[in-house]
Chain A
Amino acid sequence: MNPTVSATPPGKPRLTTSAMIASIATEGQRTKPAPFGHALVELARNRADVIGMTADLGKYTDLHIFAAAFPDRYYQMGMAEQLLFGAASGLAAEGFTPFATTYAVFASRRAYDFIHQTIAEEDRNVKIVCALPGLTSGYGPSHQATEDLALFRAMPNMTVIDPCDAHEIEQVVPAVAARQGPVYVRLLRGQVPVVLDEYGYKFEVGKAALIRDGSDVLIISTGLMTMRALEAAKKLVGDRVDTAVLHVPTIKPLDAEAILREAGKPGRLVVVAENHTVIGGLGEAIAGLLMRSGVHPAFRQIALPDEFLAAGALPTLHDRYGISTAAISDRIKTSL
């Protein structure tokens, strides 16, 4: 049967499908516009070495905010990601601190060797900030960066950060600028939810944070999955399931101490949740850590499947692939 207009049940609004960029904010959620762009402008006021670079995706990575504020410190490199990162290495070699932006698929897949050889191997001070991490685009595999954490985790010298919300992104920008060396940051752009301010959360590179405590389940999550985990934890209260959430924004270097401390507490199911393929991301990083450390809790991974994902509307896809709030709470209930 062809998917035609008549396939939509009457009275049910059609979801916008296959959008390249879709907001991950849920209805009524507090948001902030372009937190990365505004935070970079703030940083650059006191840091003359900070420059912005992009490969024809300034508007789509919120770098246009910086470009408007500091036009003479902004480099449009054209739709050429290999050049973007090679040139960023050259500018870093001359003492500048480039924030180079594109989509996560292009940095992790097309330009990998350039980042590996000209930035990571030479330990250049380049901040790679990439939109559309994991499954945050309805465009299909061309724009869904489901392997980026695995790829950048495997790269020596690289720090890897997956922020949760606007509150965190605002803190990540000055924090990575203060850290010498290459950093890969997953970026939520546009209208970005604000969640973690309610918990008095403060970001620190390499530090995990227990956002809420609970006695039945420990969700260890990163990126936008932490806001989903917090929503799921609230839902699970109604099912008499007491859920802790440990937020791990820095995938590398991993906060082994905090993870072992929390995962080692007896009697809790440990669930690692990430917006990334089940292979090579936070889940397998933690599994390896626990195995090496002799800590063996009941363990589940909530992650994207090892397959090329479909095009479609994000809510549909997040449900289908198990990373929506409802899918998380259902998975936990069936695992207990």
Chain B
Amino acid sequence: METAPTIANAPTLAQRAHNIRRNALRMGEVQGQGYIAQALDIADVLAVAYFHAMHYRPEEPSWYGRDRFLLSNGHYAIALYAALIEAGVIPEAELGTYGSDESRLPMSGMASYTPGMEMSGGSLGLGMSIAVGMALGLKRKNSSARVYTLFSDGELDEGSVWEAIMSAAHHKLDNLIAIVDVNNQQADGPSTEMMAFEPLVDKLNAFGWFVQRVDGNDLDAVVAAFDAAKSHGQAKPRIIVADTLMGKGVPFLEQREKNHFIRVEPHEWQLALGALEAGKQS
């Protein structure tokens, strides 16, 4: 699939998002733990990125013409693996190795381990700086490929992220599309209570970016945001502020007391998969 479908096909994307959630839950069950609430919240954004917006070749993850996807928040690896499995970059059979010794799917994303993983995350706040360099590099090569980078609202606390935000605008990196997952949850509590990053849209506008804020769990809205980010005419970097719901798609996880590292009891993984399937049918 070198070229993504050009017509938004909502039912198909919904199915993709569902499968990403299912893959993530199955990996979570392997280890009995994982950043599953984040995987569930970001599945819709990844579905749009991998099945609507981005160009890549599943059988050739290093294809020079691919759009780059930098996962800055490395603990979201379970979500990206789920998307890469759905995209055919990683065989589904590897799902059962998640987080195990010798697996290509470590719990925190690392570039050298996994096809389709473009950077080593884990230490938060790195991705945007790498994205600036890659976007500069692609321009040097006259490549039409884009750099996408996903980071979390907690990473907005890191000063380096703002160095890179300033730099991307300074260098007019219109080939850079960032997505920030605002689920308002980081390690010690609600993100906005850890560091007051709002009003985020005003800030990013002031920093010279083309900014859109959408419900990150509304597929139509996310599709429209990616389309607008790609087609925007000004020489500015683009960012999509995606407000998401932790645990999206599994009602009892959505309602669970919000926690960065959500606790799921051993018997609950099958219940979660069941709830996900039930939600799809309703």
- Using a CB–CB cutoff of 8 Å, the interface residues on chain A facing chain B are 51, 75, 77-78, 80, 82-83, 85-96, 98, 113-114, 117-118, 121-123
Report whether A86 and B130 are in contact in the complex, using a CB–CB cutoff of 8 Å: yes
Report whether B126 and A118 are in contact in the complex, using a CB–CB cutoff of 8 Å: yes
Report whether A94 and B141 are in contact in the complex, using a CB–CB cutoff of 8 Å: yes
Give B110's nearest chain A residue, CB to CB.
A121
Task: Please name all residues of chain B whose beta carbon is closer than 8 Å to the beta carbon of A95 when the two chains form the complex.
Answer: 137, 141
Work out how many contacts link A and B, with CB atoms closer than 8 A.
Answer: 95
Determine which residue in A75, A82, A88, A114 has the highest number of CB atoms from chain B within 10 A of its CB, and name it: A82
Report B81-102 residues with CB < 8 Å from chain A CB.
none
Task: Please name all residues of chain A whose beta carbon is closer than 8 Å to the beta carbon of B33 when the two chains form the complex.
Answer: none
Give A111's nearest chain B residue, CB to CB.
B160
B129: interface (CB < 8 Å): yes
Identify B133's interface contact among A80, A86, A121, CB under 8 A.
Answer: A86
Report whether B132 and A122 are in contact in the complex, using a CB–CB cutoff of 8 Å: no
Task: Please name all residues of chain A whose beta carbon is closer than 8 Å to the beta carbon of B136 when the two chains form the complex.
Answer: 75, 87, 90-91
- Using a CB–CB cutoff of 8 Å, the interface residues on chain B facing chain A are 110-112, 118-120, 122-123, 125-126, 128-138, 140-141, 159-160, 163-164, 166-167, 170
Known: A117-B120, A118-B119. A87 touches B160 (CB 8 A): no
Report whether B133 and A87 are in contact in the complex, using a CB–CB cutoff of 8 Å: yes
Q: How far is the CA of A117 from the CA of B121 in the complex (A)?
A: 8
Q: List 27 A-B contacts (CB under 8 A).
A: A78-B163, A78-B167, A80-B160, A82-B159, A82-B163, A83-B163, A86-B126, A86-B132, A87-B129, A87-B130, A87-B133, A90-B130, A90-B133, A90-B134, A94-B133, A94-B141, A95-B137, A95-B141, A113-B123, A113-B126, A114-B129, A117-B123, A117-B126, A118-B119, A118-B120, A121-B110, A122-B120
Task: Please name all residues of chain A whose beta carbon is closer than 8 Å to the beta carbon of B133 when the two chains form the complex.
Answer: 86-94, 98
Identify A86's interface contact among B129, B141, B170, CB under 8 A.
Answer: B129
Q: How far is the CA of A86 from the CA of B132 in the complex (A)?
A: 8
Q: How far is the CA of A118 from the CA of B159 in the complex (A)?
A: 16
Report whether B167 and A77 are in contact in the complex, using a CB–CB cutoff of 8 Å: yes
Task: For the A-B complex with A114-B126, A121-B120 known, give 11 more contacts whose Cβ atoms are closer than 8 Å.
Answer: A78-B170, A83-B167, A86-B128, A87-B136, A89-B130, A93-B118, A93-B130, A95-B141, A96-B137, A113-B126, A122-B119
